[in-house]
């Protein structure tokens, strides 16, 4: 397996560290979710959250 570059998942704003990716709600802190075009997915447990398309169907 390749090495994960976790330093790319954080950003420093002033004296605070900000996470750029979401944590998996099932696996807990430390397990990031992958961001796809229409969803967020956890590679560890398979949990998926769908993004809102922004369209309202009537």
- What residues form the annotated binding site? 24, 27, 42, 45
Q: How far, in Å, CA of 3 to CA of 21, rounded?
A: 17
Q: Are 23 and 7 in contact (CB under 8 A)?
A: no
**Beta bridge partners of residue 10, listed in sequence order:** 19
Please enumerate, by residue number, every residue annotated as part of a binding site for Zn(2+): 24, 27, 42, 45
């Amino acid at each position: 397996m390749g090495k994960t570059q976790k330093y790319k998942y954080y950003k420093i704003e002033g004296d605070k560290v900000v996470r750029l990716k979401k944590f998996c709600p099932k696996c807990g802190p430390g397990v990031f979710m992958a961001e796809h075009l229409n969803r967020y997915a956890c590679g560890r447990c398979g949990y998926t959250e769908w993004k809102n398309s922004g369209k309202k169907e009537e």
